[in-house]
Amino acid sequence: MSHHRLSRQLSAYLDGELTAEDEQEVREHLARCEACRDELRQLQAVRSLLRRLPEPQAPEDLWGAVRSRTVRALPRRRWPARAVLAVAAAAVVVLLALPAVRTRVDRLRAAGVGVDVFVREHALATAGEPFADRAYLGLLISDASAALAGVPREEERR
């Protein structure tokens, strides 16, 4: 490849998006070509500048505005028969037969801080287990952490 053609590969080289051979060729060219090394440094600086840009916070009222034009804008209709949700729906129907209450919270509340600490530390220690359910451990840990951080249990909601 010519210098000109190689210099156009520099961005992709930087991103690791070249094939192994092209990458090797660019690397060899860079070792010889001061101008391309300079250009690579500049491209890298631009990329890191863009990566450091702060995230513009969406205005608070935007989501309300979106809701009022979507989920709140339409008349009530029949339930959808979405294949995706069929599995979940079947499970929910079965489970609705039981009072779906968060019994764990009630049980743990009386135990005070001690049991929360034990549950949390054990769940964190368990998180390394190969077949642990990440979502469920996350729930246990976040429940216990919330209690330890002083979030009142949800008894008021019932």
Please name the helix (run of DSSP H) or strand (run of DSSP E) that holds residue 51, with its range, or none: helix 34-51
Query: Binding to other proteins by residue 1, rule CB under 8 A?
Result: no
Least Å distance, CB 17 to other proteins, is: 5
Q: x-or-dash pattern for other proteins, window 107-136, by CB under 8 A?
A: xx-xxxxxx-xxx-xxxxxxxxxxxxxxxx
**Token pair listed for 53:** 């840009």
Interface positions, 85-104, toward other proteins (CB under 8 A): 85, 87-89, 91-92, 94-95, 97-104
Spatial distance between the Cα atoms of 141 and 127, rounded to a whole number of angstroms: 10
Query: Binding to other proteins by residue 33, rule CB under 8 A?
Result: no
**Which three-class secondary structure state does DSSP give residue 97?**
coil
Least Å distance, CB 33 to other proteins, is: 16
Q: Are 119 and 147 in contact (CB under 8 A)?
A: no
Least Å distance, CB 30 to other proteins, is: 15
DSSP annotation of 151? P
